[in-house]
Amino acid sequence: MDFNDTQEEAAFRAEAAAWLKDNVPSADELAGLDDIAAAKLWQKRKYDAGWACIRWEKKYGGREASAIEQVIWNQEEAKYSTPGGVFVIGQGMAAPTLMTWGRPEHHERFLPKLASGEEIWCQLFSEPAGGSDLAALRTKAERDGDDWVINGQKIWTSGAHYSDYGILVVRTDPNVAKHKGLSYFFLDMKSPGIEIKPIKQLTGGANFNEVYFTDVRIPDSQRLGEVGQGWQVALTTLMNERAAIGGGGAGVNVDVAYRIASEVMIDDKPAIEDSAVRAKLADWYVQEAGLRFTGYRSMTAMSRGAIPGPENSIGKLVGAPKTQEMASFCMDLLEMSGAIWDENLSKEAGLLQLTYMGAPGGRIAGGTDEIMANIIAERVLGMPQEPRMDKGMSFSEVPTGSN
Amino acid sequence: MNFEFGEEQELLREQARGFLTNHCPPAAVRAVLDGDADHDAQLWEKIVEMGWTATVIPEEFGGLGLSYLELVVIAEELGRAVAPVPFSSSVYLATEALMACGSQEQKEKWLPMLATGEAIGTFALSEGNGRPSVKSLQTRFSGSGLSGRKLPVADGRAADFAVVVAGSDAGDGASWYLVELDQDGVSREAVRTLDFSRGHAVLEFDNAKAELLGGEGAGWGATERLLDRAAVLFAWEQVGLADAAMIQARDYAMGRYAFGRAIASYQAIKHKLANMYVKNTLARSNCYYGAWALNTDSAELPLAAATARVGAIKAAVFAAEENVQTHGGMGFTWEFDCQFYYRRAKLLGVNVGSEGYWQDRLITAYEQNNAA
pLDDT at site A249: 46
- Residue B27 near residue B84 (C-beta atoms within 8 A): no
Closest alpha carbon within chain A to B278: A314
Q: Which residue has the higher pLDDT, B11 or A249?
A: B11
Mean pLDDT of the B110-114 span = 98
Examine the pLDDT at A306 and tell me if it is beyond 50: yes
Residues of B whose CB is below 8 A from A66: none
Examine the pLDDT at A316 and tell me if it is beyond 50: yes
> CATH number of the domain that B348 lies in?
1.20.140.10
Domain boundary among B70, B90, B116: B116
Q: Confidence band (pLDDT; 50, 70, 90) for A367? A: confident
Regarding whether A188 and A139 lie in a shared domain, the answer is: yes
Would A159 be classed as within a structural domain? yes
CA atoms of A93 and A141, how far apart (whole Å): 22
> CATH number of the domain that B28 lies in?
1.10.540.10
Regarding whether B355 and B237 lie in a shared domain, the answer is: yes
pLDDT at site B177: 98
pLDDT at site A248: 44
pLDDT at site A246: 36
Interface of B with A in 353-372 (CB under 8 A): 355-356, 358-360, 362-363, 366
Vertex A156, ends A150 and A158: CA angle to 5°?
95
Domain boundary among A214, A239, A264: A239
CA distance A210 to chain B (A): 31
Tens digits of per-residue pLDDT, B54-97? 999 999 999 999 999 999 999 999 999 999 999 999 999 999 99
Q: Are B295 and A1 an interchain contact pair (Cβ–Cβ within 8 Å)? A: yes
- Residue A195 near residue A162 (C-beta atoms within 8 A): no
pLDDT at site B17: 98
Would A246 be classed as within a structural domain? no
Regarding whether A217 and A180 lie in a shared domain, the answer is: yes
Regarding whether A335 and A296 lie in a shared domain, the answer is: yes
Q: Are A275 and B356 an interchain contact pair (Cβ–Cβ within 8 Å)? A: yes
Regarding whether B249 and B192 lie in a shared domain, the answer is: no
Examine the pLDDT at B172 and tell me if it is beyond 60: yes
CA atoms of B171 and B156, how far apart (whole Å): 28
Q: Confidence band (pLDDT; 50, 70, 90) for A402? A: low
Examine the pLDDT at B195 and tell me if it is beyond 50: yes
Vertex A220, ends A216 and A224: CA angle to 5°?
105
Q: Kindly state the percentage of chain A with pLDDT values over 70.
A: 97
Would B175 be classed as within a structural domain? yes
Closest Cβ–Cβ partner in A4, A281, A290 for B2: A4
Q: Are B285 and A272 an interchain contact pair (Cβ–Cβ within 8 Å)? A: no
Regarding whether B307 and B189 lie in a shared domain, the answer is: no
Length, in residues, of chain B: 372
pLDDT at site A353: 94
Tens digits of per-residue pLDDT, A45-58? 999 999 999 999 99
> CATH number of the domain that A342 lies in?
1.20.140.10
CA atoms of A403 and A306, how far apart (whole Å): 42
pLDDT at site A239: 78
Tens digits of per-residue pLDDT, B231-255? 999 999 999 999 999 999 999 999 9
> CATH number of the domain that A133 lies in?
2.40.110.10
Tens digits of per-residue pLDDT, A212-264? 999 999 999 999 999 999 999 999 888 776 443 334 445 899 999 999 999 99
Total domains, chain A: 3
Regarding whether A214 and A141 lie in a shared domain, the answer is: yes
CA distance B355 to chain A (A): 9
pLDDT at site A245: 37
Regarding whether A173 and A233 lie in a shared domain, the answer is: yes
Examine the pLDDT at A336 and tell me if it is beyond 80: yes
Would A370 be classed as within a structural domain? no
Would B2 be classed as within a structural domain? no
Domain boundary among B191, B216, B241: B216
Q: Confidence band (pLDDT; 50, 70, 90) for B113? A: very high
Q: Confidence band (pLDDT; 50, 70, 90) for B369? A: very high
Domain boundary among A30, A60, A84: A84
Check the CA dihedral B331-B332-B333-B336 and report its sign: positive
Cβ neighbours for A64, distance < 8 A, ≥ 6 positions apart: A55, A56, A57, A58
Examine the pLDDT at B134 and tell me if it is beyond 50: yes
Q: Are A286 and B286 an interchain contact pair (Cβ–Cβ within 8 Å)? A: yes
Examine the pLDDT at B167 and tell me if it is beyond 90: yes
CA distance A384 to chain B (A): 5
pLDDT at site A400: 85
Mean pLDDT of the B282-292 span = 97
Regarding whether B266 and B347 lie in a shared domain, the answer is: yes
Mean pLDDT of the B277-291 span = 98
- Residue B290 near residue A289 (C-beta atoms within 8 A): no
Tens digits of per-residue pLDDT, B251-274? 999 999 999 999 999 999 999 999
Q: What is the DSSP string of B227-287?
A: HHHHHHHHHHHHHHHHHHHHHHHHHHHHH-EETTEEGGGSHHHHHHHHHHHHHHHHHHHHH
Q: Kindly state the percentage of chain B with pLDDT values over 90.
A: 98
Domain boundary among A176, A209, A239: A239
Regarding whether A193 and A139 lie in a shared domain, the answer is: yes
Residue B310: name the closest of B247, B268, B356 by CA.
B356
Interface of B with A in 66-95 (CB under 8 A): 69
Residues of B whose CB is below 8 A from A378: 270
Examine the pLDDT at A68 and tell me if it is beyond 80: yes
Examine the pLDDT at A403 and tell me if it is beyond 60: no
Tens digits of per-residue pLDDT, A267-293? 999 999 999 999 999 999 999 999 999
Domain containing B30: what range? Answer: 7-116
Total domains, chain B: 3
Domain containing A298: what range? Answer: 254-365
Residues of A whose CB is below 8 A from B283: 290
Q: Are A386 and B358 an interchain contact pair (Cβ–Cβ within 8 Å)? A: no
Q: Is the peptide bond before B84 cis (omega within 30 degrees of 0)?
A: no
CA distance B286 to chain A (A): 5
Domain boundary among B216, B251, B281: B216
> CATH number of the domain that B180 lies in?
2.40.110.10
Regarding whether B17 and B128 lie in a shared domain, the answer is: no
Residue A137: name the closest of A70, A105, A183, A101 by CA.
A183
CB contacts < 8 A (A, B): 157
Would B1 be classed as within a structural domain? no
Interface of B with A in 282-301 (CB under 8 A): 282-283, 285-286, 288-289, 291-292, 295
CA atoms of B175 and B146, how far apart (whole Å): 11
Closest Cβ–Cβ partner in A9, A278, A297 for B3: A297
Regarding whether B155 and B49 lie in a shared domain, the answer is: no
Q: Confidence band (pLDDT; 50, 70, 90) for A67? A: confident
User: Which residues of A are part of the catalytic machinery?
Assistant: 241
Label the pairing between strands B174-180 and B211-213: antiparallel
